[in-house]
Amino acid sequence: MTLARLPRRPYLWAALALGLAALLATACARPPTPEGWAAPRPVTLNGGAVLVAHKAKLYSLPGTTDADLSGNANWQFPPKDKTTFPISEQAQQSLTASIDALDAVDDGTKTRLKKLVGDLMVSGPSKSALDADIKASAAPQAQRDKLTSAVDGAVAAESSALNKLQGFYGDIGVSADNKTAFLTSFKGIVFALDVATGHVRWLRDAGAGIVGGVAVDGDTIYFGTKGKRVYAVAAATGDPTWQFSTAGEVWATPTVDGDTIYVTSLDGSLYAIDKSGNKKWKFPGAGSGIASRPVVSDDAVYIGAFDNKLYSVKKSDGTENWSLKAGNWFWATPLLNNGVLYAPSLDGKVYAVDAKTGMSKWSQPFDTGTEVRSAPVMAGGGLIVAARSGEVYKLDPATGDPQQGGPVIAGTKILADLTTNGANTVYVLPMSATLFVVDASAQLAVGSVPLPQ
Amino acid sequence: MDYVAFLFHVGLVVPMTNVLIALARIFGGNYGVAIIVFTLLMRFITWPLTSSQYKASRAMQAIQPQLQELQKKYKGKDPKKLQAETMALYREAGVNPLGCILPMIVQMPIWIALYQVIRLSLGDAPESLVTLSQSLYPIPFVHTAVPLNNHMLFWNLGQPDASYVLPFLVAASMYVQQKLITPPPSAAATTQAQQQQQQTTQMMTWMMPLMFGFWSLSVPAGLALYWFVSNLSGIVLQYFYMGRKMDWRSILTLSPAPAPAAKPAQKQRPEPREKATPAETEADVTAGEADISERPASDAAKQEARRKRHGRRRGKR
């Protein structure tokens, strides 16, 4: 650029101004930040609540239907005020054990120190009080230093973890007794939360981002990471039992069926792993990544892939039964109901096929007009489907015809899976800070619950 | 405005996205290699513009003595006449002042589009992958290429380079490129306007690399990689185009000493450059001489010696 020799400096300045404007425009358009699309999760504890994750927050909303759900949350995680949010139960137990092991400290002092540990918050002055009492105790210097260091470490680690959540995408796992919820954050931290209070039971940094959610199976939970690993972790403590390596990132929640864990990966494979972490078989058939959660029937596993195909794979050996091709990727988890597989695609269509043969059950797929990433549910005798555009449809499961009136506009785009309370209520979470509660018993009736700010 | 944005998206962002993904697939799924190949392709496509830029640069250098004469002649007397004469001189020499900055202007939409493409295809957020699915052509080779490998060496091409290596490389390569094409200041710059112009020129030599280096800190590393490869290929192209006339030593000179004034003996105007190749060649030689004449005496002597050596080699061939 021989700008130097330009006789007319206006040209020079015009070019510079253009360049500046262009680059400012690009600078203003920052890369999109991960927001999350975790599906709402109803729980039965304390008369019923719905756990709703929105961006980097999780809310426990009291009630289960539109009539009784309220925007006043039982709790929210992470809390607004961290000076009243206790450190995790596991960290408290660890510090309590360290206090018990102190030498030359009388029981009264130990009891007082334990109480201070019980009152230790992730932020605020509570740590100073505990530090002062540890310093004043009669324990040997080395033990006091070690305990102080452990307190510092616990507070720093948990405070840091709460500050880097950046969106929840995966299914929220809930223990069989409904007392513990397992939550994965995009930044790679797994939390076990007390469903009643929202307090942390334990947390683990997986070392890589997590898009999928947690599959709960008794006393073990399973999840996969962007670090190409699948982890089995003790539900009570968060201690890893085993880990399994895949060739690609794992973006979907694993599915547990009997003694097998099914995991899909962006390497284009479906893995069947036994409960000791050993590979049983691998289906490498997809020509592109797989990000949908496997759906398991008596004899087959169903997966949708980025090669535009929906696959049925034999449970026994991982060979292909059939496949169905669409016009774009399959990302949503398909729904298996009465031998029919309902699979939405990013081409905007919902496909219904015979799960055994792969033959179409409808005369033609139902076209929503925009991509469908949300998993459908069955409620009120209809198939409920949400398109990215924000439209919710109730379809006749037998024909694919839209039932009873037109679509319901949720207002903003919907990417989260739909969930149901097992009856007629469907929870729809668009990207806006509002939970939509759809009564699917007759015509779709929508109520909205604004999330707390 | 929405219509313009839509056209920009469909006409530039989507095709570039598909081309880059196809290139990535061809080169083993590496998006970084795809960006490098894409940059070279863009250099190839914009070569007619770049070459006209180089020609304009040479022609501009060639008519410097005449320009200086005009400025001396009409200095402070008749600015309108000076302007008219200057434009006449440009016309005769076939110089288009816009020719110098046209390639830069043409590349701007490409930069913006590339930024959008990288956001779209290498975005960290899973949401961007849903959007990407709608921007891919229904060609299996492209449509099934996802997921993309957004890493090259130690860079995540979808994120700004936190190691500062690419911003440094962008700034350094742009500085070298600027230095190679910016002539040293002339001692003939006697008027205030000329001196201001020279100051602006020297400032640009520093400001442009600094600005681009600074921007490279905040844009995705993939775009910074594009700038770096583009600068590097620009330097190579310049070498082949300008050959031995390039003054590599000037890169090390932070503030070059003013060159002596142009020889008053060079009075004849260069041949018009519009048509015949021989005339153009002739003009190039004239341009080379004018260029030498502007440099410090010792430099000019060395250049002359080099030119003679070069001529002898040509003779041998």
pLDDT digits (tens, 9 = 90+) for B15-42: 999 999 999 999 888 899 999 999 999 8
A132 in a domain, yes or no?
yes
Query: In the predicted model, what is the mean pLDDT of residues A354-380?
Result: 96
- Of A9, A31, A289, nearest to B220 by CB-CB distance is A31
Query: In the predicted model, what is the mean pLDDT of residues B107-129?
Result: 84
Which of the pair, A172 or A12, is modelled with greater confidence? Answer: A172
A419 in a domain, yes or no?
no
Please state, in angstroms and rounded to a whole number, the distance separating the CA atoms of residues A189 and A186.
7
CB contact under 8 A, B104 and A7: no
> Both tokens of residue A444?
């779709």
CB contact under 8 A, A32 and B103: no
* DSSP classification of residue A198: -
Distances (CA, A) of B226 to B116, B152, B210: 13, 13, 16
The pLDDT mean for chain A works out to 90
Which of the pair, A395 or A450, is modelled with greater confidence? Answer: A395
CB contact under 8 A, B130 and A328: no
Do residues B200 and B177 lie in contact, with contact meaning Cβ atoms separated by under 8 Å? Answer: no
Please state, in angstroms and rounded to a whole number, the distance separating the CA atoms of residues A49 and A161.
25
Q: What size, in residues, is chain B?
A: 317
B279 Cα to chain A: minimum distance (Å)? 22
Query: In the predicted model, what is the mean pLDDT of residues A71-89?
Result: 90
Query: In the predicted model, what is the mean pLDDT of residues A40-64?
Result: 88
| A7 contact B CB<8A | yes
Window 202-231 of A, Cβ < 8 Å to B: 211
- Note if the bond before A78 is cis, omega within 30 degrees: yes
Chain A environment of B134 (Cβ under 8 Å): 328, 346, 371
A47 in a domain, yes or no?
no
- Of B144, B182, B198, nearest to A288 by CB-CB distance is B144
Distances (CA, A) of A385 to A350, A393, A407, B101, B249: 8, 5, 10, 53, 68
Please state, in angstroms and rounded to a whole number, the distance separating the CA atoms of residues B211 and B204.
10
| A272 contact B CB<8A | no
Confidence band for A259, pLDDT divided at 50, 70 and 90: very high
- Of B60, B144, B146, nearest to A2 by CB-CB distance is B60
Which of the pair, B258 or B78, is modelled with greater confidence? Answer: B78
CB contact under 8 A, A1 and B104: yes
Distances (CA, A) of A272 to A256, B37, B130: 10, 39, 27
Distances (CA, A) of B171 to B174, B209, B235, B309: 5, 4, 13, 35
Does residue B106 sit in helix, strand or coil? helix
Do residues A389 and A396 lie in contact, with contact meaning Cβ atoms separated by under 8 Å? Answer: no
CB contact under 8 A, A22 and B218: no
Window 249-268 of A, Cβ < 8 Å to B: 249, 251, 266
Question: What angle (nearest 5°) sits at the alpha carbon of residue A57, between those of residues A53 and A60?
Answer: 60
First to last CA, chain A: 52
A21 in a domain, yes or no?
no
- What is the DSSP code string of A243-255? EEE-SS---S--E
Using the structure block, give the residue that is written with the tokens 């069947």.
A272
Going by their DSSP bridges, the two strands A279-283 and A295-296 should be labelled as unpaired
CB contact under 8 A, B119 and A32: yes
Amino acid at B197: Q
Do residues A250 and A184 lie in contact, with contact meaning Cβ atoms separated by under 8 Å? Answer: no
CB contact under 8 A, B60 and A5: yes
Confidence band for B308, pLDDT divided at 50, 70 and 90: very low
CB contact under 8 A, B123 and A4: no
Backbone angles phi, psi at A62, to 5 degrees: -70, 145
Residue environment code for A38-75, b if the CB has 16+ CB neighbours within 10 A, otherwise e: bbbbbbebeebbbbbbbbbbbbbbbbbbbeebebebbb
A109 in a domain, yes or no?
yes
Number of structural domains (chain A) is: 1
Chain A environment of B13 (Cβ under 8 Å): none
CB contact under 8 A, B57 and A2: yes
Chain A environment of B56 (Cβ under 8 Å): 2
Report the pLDDT value the prediction gives residue B312, as an integer from 0 to 100: 45
- The verdict on ipTM greater than 0.90 is no
CB contact under 8 A, B125 and A32: yes
Distances (CA, A) of B39 to A273, B19, B52, B118: 44, 12, 19, 14
Going by their DSSP bridges, the two strands A349-354 and A340-344 should be labelled as antiparallel
Chain A environment of B98 (Cβ under 8 Å): 11
Q: What is the pLDDT of residues B106-116, one digit of tens each?
A: 777 887 888 88
Q: Residue B31: is it exposed, middle or buried by C-beta count within 10 angstroms (0-12/13-18/19+)?
A: buried
Window 340-369 of A, Cβ < 8 Å to B: 346
Confidence band for B279, pLDDT divided at 50, 70 and 90: very low
Res. A93: pLDDT tops 90: yes
Report the pLDDT value the prediction gives residue A127, as an integer from 0 to 100: 92
A141 in a domain, yes or no?
yes
Using the structure block, give the residue that is written with the tokens 């442009």.
B208
Chain B environment of A27 (Cβ under 8 Å): 215, 218-219
Report the pLDDT value the prediction gives residue A372, as an integer from 0 to 100: 97
Show the domain range for A109. Answer: 83-162
A103 in a domain, yes or no?
yes
Handedness of CA B132, B146, A350, A391 (dihedral sign): negative
Q: What residue in B sits closest to A374 (Cα-Cα)?
A: B130
Res. A450: pLDDT tops 60: yes
Do residues B239 and B232 lie in contact, with contact meaning Cβ atoms separated by under 8 Å? Answer: no
Which of the pair, B204 or A226, is modelled with greater confidence? Answer: A226
Res. A7: pLDDT tops 50: no
Confidence band for B237, pLDDT divided at 50, 70 and 90: confident
CB contact under 8 A, A26 and B112: yes
Do residues A194 and A215 lie in contact, with contact meaning Cβ atoms separated by under 8 Å? Answer: no
Res. B56: pLDDT tops 60: yes
Do residues A23 and A14 lie in contact, with contact meaning Cβ atoms separated by under 8 Å? Answer: no
Res. B248: pLDDT tops 80: no
A352 in a domain, yes or no?
no
| A10 contact B CB<8A | no
Count of CB atoms situated within 10 Å of the CB of A177: 9
pLDDT above 70 coverage of chain A, percent: 92
- Of A18, A211, A373, nearest to B105 by CB-CB distance is A18
Res. A14: pLDDT tops 70: no
First to last CA, chain B: 60
